[in-house]
Amino acid sequence: MDIANAFALLSNFVLVPALAYGAQLALGALGVTIIFGILRFANFAHGEMMSFGAMAAILATWFLQSQGVSISPLPTALLALPIGILAAIGMACLTDRFVFRFYRRKRSNPIVFAIVSVGVMFVMAGLIRIIIGPDDQSFADGARFLVTVREFKAATGLDQGIAIKQSQVITVVVALIVVAFLFWFLQRTRWGKAMRAYSDDEDLALLSGIDPEKVVLIAWIIAAALAAIAGTLYGLDKTYKPFIFLQILLPIFAATILGGIGQPVGAVLGGFIIAFSEVMVTYAFKRFLAYLGPDGWVPDGLVQLLSTDYKFAVSFVILVAVLLVRPTGIIRGKVI
Amino acid sequence: MTKTVALYYSLMGLVLIAVGFFQSWNVAFGILNLCLISAIMALGVNMQWGYAGLFNVGIMGFTALGALAAVLISMAPVQEAWEVAGGDLFLSLLSLAGTVVAILLARRAVPRGLRPYVVVLLLIPGYFLTMHFFGPATERIEAIDPALTGYLGGLGLPVLLAWPVGGLVAAGAGWLIGRISLGLRADYLAIATLGISEIIIAIIKYEEWLSRGVKNVTGIPRPVPYEVDLVEADWFISFASSLGVSDTSEAAGVFVKICYALLFIAVLAIIMWLAERALQSPWGRMMRAIRDNRDAAAAMGKDVKARHLQVFVLGCAVCGVAGAMLATLDGQLTPTSYIPLRYTFLIWVMVILGGSGNNWGAVLGGFVIWFLWIQAEPLGSWVMNVVTAPMPEGSALADHLVAGSVYMRYLLMGAILLLVMRFAPKGLIPEK
């Protein structure tokens, strides 16, 4: 029985990585949920939007690095992040002006919007691969670890260490700031309230003099900014590879639906639930249980529910379960 | 109406013939074969989307199931694997079936409120019992000569049998998935099917005992002669010389492709005939009525959910057949090559361009889009060469742009989809 070591082990392999991953998913899901709340369609291009913003941030990072600009020990990418956000916002405004606005005026069916977003996804995927190429890109610099395994062991005297990557801390901190700002915006400001009203009841909002075009524009700006931040943080924490962003769309959609479509609080909640389930279901609890059990006892198998290959199957199973049991998601309703 | 159809099809034919004259006949027939397979996939999607308005973005999964069927039917069985692990595999299957039956029975026996708990309570021991047999069995299978086999192998039957079987497998999966996810709102259905297709690919990729996974299965037997045999066969050499062809190896390649093309045309013709019959029958009218006004159709006593399930299963079956055909043509199963942009969304572009709800349109869309998908590569590198021509020799940017020209095809497909949706939402050949 060794609770301290068991907890250290679990933190190192489950809690810390899942927290960072959850923050990335939450940011992505917030963007999807806002578009869903205001424009009422599932945006298949959101993954590519994340990729696009991250790509712009990476290009800016490289430029800054070549100029010798550095904010070490923090990664240069943080300095370049505003460029990524601006690029994503520009892209979102362009697609809205030249693609989505037409269907909005025609009041097309949500499926038509979804199909059109597939077209946007194709175009963005092509652009990204032409500009930066289909391969892995590394752009992280600065200090790698805040706490290394060795330091932790030396400080606490435990057998198990906890390593905390700098990118993980940055991810969580940035996500906290962004989410807090977003909620402040939605709850307190005039345009935030207008957005909530519009999401709640479009016709009533129009009657009370809210400009729909402006609401839509703000929704795109917020979603694009969130996407760029999420994409860059994901790239910083793991790796930037264009094709990953089509795969990550699934857990993001799952988080959105799990939390309740159009619900920002739900999106954050959903992101963390999905991330924690993905990591926990595919984690082998053998050593963790060995620490908790009587001395010298070790479980027979790996005590792993699913092999890590099926990571994203977890998010999907949750998605199906939610759709069957409680299609409205954890937080009911469709209010933004 | 029929005039435009004939015009479009003859134009497409002329373009393929032009490829034959200007590039090579091998290229032309290579494109034609994949055009035919794409056309069948587009027909499957058109059944679901065009007839019934179901937004299924899991085409990739059903195609891959068809391809898996091709492996499981046609590859030779690995005797040793069956000997060392057949018993345990059977026991794990038995425990799985036992768990399912126990859950179904228990759900009937206990009151409603307790059901979820009973299910979980039975699921956990059932899972561990199944894994107890399953885990060691698969390990033993994968340990057998991993460089060559390491999987169970197939049944060693003729590969042509795999085509209908691929359809059946995909239909079975479609039924299961449709039961769960149909009846959801349209965009939920899309997200659910997207997820399912990824899971199917993951299973094929990682369950090595079943499909060799990322080690790929190669050498799926062919239904047509091999080029190496043809080049040495007397009848083929005399046949080639009677046509005045001197290069026999080139001729053999074309001959094999023509054989495939004939087989594919036969399948396409059968599916097309059935699809057209279905569309013009009372059943087809009912499907369109449900699509156009679901509530009215339900009020007329049509069972919307059952009809949707029916058409969903049919569409999936067609995609499964196409998947099996594709694996046969490639002669291999490479799970990593299955990506949604190519196997799901590209098929969607075909249907939208061709004309949703019109089978002739879907087939035409399959031809046009596949042709463009292939030819976008030379086109893209040409465009990039023109763009980079004024740049200095050896400039890094120019090299980068030329290297990225392959991805012009994504740009092109996106542009086509957006333009068609905007300016011709009914497609090239609109629904009658």
pLDDT in tens, A191-247: 999 999 998 888 899 899 999 999 999 999 999 999 999 999 999 988 899 988 988
Quick one: pLDDT at residue A331?
81
pLDDT at B345: 94
- What was the pLDDT predicted at B214? 87
Using alpha carbons, list the distances in angstroms from residue B408 to A116, B83, B354, B391.
19, 51, 21, 20
Chain A residues in contact with B348 (beta carbon < 8 A): 115, 118
Beta strands in A121-252 (DSSP E): 145-147, 164-165
Residue B428 CA from chain centroid, whole number: 23
Q: B128 contacts in A (CB within 8 Å)?
A: none
User: Model confidence over B132-144: pLDDT tens digits?
Assistant: 888 888 888 888 8
Kindly state the percentage of chain A with pLDDT values over 90.
55
Q: What is the pTM of this model?
A: 0.92
| Domain made up of B2-77+153-423: CATH architecture | Orthogonal Bundle (1.10)
Count the neighbouring beta carbons within 10 Å of the beta carbon of residue A275: 24
pLDDT tens digits, B143-185? 888 888 888 888 999 999 999 999 999 999 999 989 888 877 7
Note which residues in 47-106 of chain B have CB less than 8 A from chain A: 53, 55, 57
Using CA atoms, how far residue B369 sits from A117, B54, B262, B410, B419, in Å, is: 19, 22, 21, 12, 14
Q: Determine the Cα–Cα distance for residues B289 and B302; give it in Å rounded to an integer.
A: 10
Task: Give percent above pLDDT 70 in chain A.
Answer: 99
A257/B352 CB distance under 8 A = no
Chain-chain contact of B421 with A257 (C-beta, under 8 angstroms): no
Q: List the single residue in A122, A253, A320 with the smallest CB-CB distance to B410.
A: A122
Domains of chain A, first to last: 3-325 (1.10.3470)
Contacts of B414 in chain A (CB under 8 A): 119-126
- Give tens-digit pLDDT for B183-207: 777 778 888 898 889 889 989 998 8
Q: Kindly list the distances between the CA atom of residue A156 and the CA atoms of A5, A12, A289, B9, in Å, as whole numbers in the listed order.
A: 10, 14, 21, 76
Alpha-carbon distance B229 to A47, whole Å? 49
pLDDT in tens, A233-256: 999 988 899 988 988 998 999 999
Q: What is the dihedral of CA B397, B398, B403, B406, to 10 degrees?
A: 110
The shortest CB-CB distance from B414 to any of A112, A120, A320 is to A120
Residues 6 or more apart whose CB falls under 8 angstroms from that of A162 comprise: A8, A11, A12, A16, A147, A149, A152
- Chain pair A-B, CB pairs under 8 angstroms: 134
Tell me what pLDDT residue B175 has.
95
Mean pLDDT of chain A: 89
Tell me the chain B residues in contact with residue A121 when contact means C-beta distances shorter than 8 Å. Answer: 345, 414
**Which residue of A94, A122, A328 is the best one to mutate when testing the B interface, meaning the one whose CB has the most B CBs within 10 A?**
A122
CA distance A301 to chain B (A): 10
Dist CA A242 CA B206 (whole Å) = 22
- Chain B residues touching A320 at Cβ < 8 A: 180-181, 192, 195
- Chain B hits for A316, CB-CB cut-off 8 Å, are 195-196, 198-199
Looking at residue B108, what is its pLDDT?
A: 85
pLDDT for res B266: 97
Output DSSP code: residue A135. S
Extract the residue ranges of chain B whose pLDDT is less than 50.
none
Task: Say what the pLDDT of residue B287 is.
Answer: 92
pLDDT band at A335 (very low <50, low <70, confident <90, very high): very low
Contacting residues of B for A39, CB less than 8 Å apart: none
CB contact under 8 A, B339 and A243: yes
Cα(B192)–Cα(B180) distance, integer angstroms:
9
Which value, in Å, is the radius of gyration of the alpha carbons in chain A? Answer: 21
Q: Which of B135, B205, B418 sits opposite A116 (nearest CB)?
A: B418
Cβ-nearest to B190 among A114, A123, A133: A114
Q: Please report the DSSP string for B46-115 in residue order.
A: HIIIIIT------HHHHHHHHHHHHHHHHSPB-HHHHHHHHHHHHHHHHHHHHHHHHHHHHHHHS-GGGH
Q: Does A321 touch chain B if contact means CB atoms closer than 8 Å?
A: no
The full set of domain ranges for chain B reads 2-77+153-423, 78-152
Express each pLDDT in B387-425 by its tens digit: 888 877 777 777 788 878 888 899 999 999 999 999 999
* Complex ipTM > 0.85: yes
CA-based torsion, A228, A233, A234, A236: positive or negative: positive
State how far residue A145 is from chain B, nearest Cα, in angstroms.
33
CB contact under 8 A, A126 and B409: yes
Q: Given this model, what pLDDT does residue A333 score?
A: 57
- Say whether pLDDT at A332 is over 80: no
Amino acid A336: pLDDT:
39
User: Quick check: bond before A73 cis, omega within 30?
Assistant: yes
Nearest CA-CA partner of B191 in A41, A200, A109: A41
Taking CB atoms and an 8 Å cutoff, what residues of chain B touch A328?
none
* B262 compared with A307, residue with greater pLDDT: B262
Give SS3 for B166.
helix
Q: Is B194 on the interface with A (CB under 8 A)?
A: yes
- The Cβ-side half-sphere exposure at B120, using a 13 Å CA radius, reads 3
Strand partners, A164: A147
Query: Å from B29 to nearest chain A CA?
Result: 27
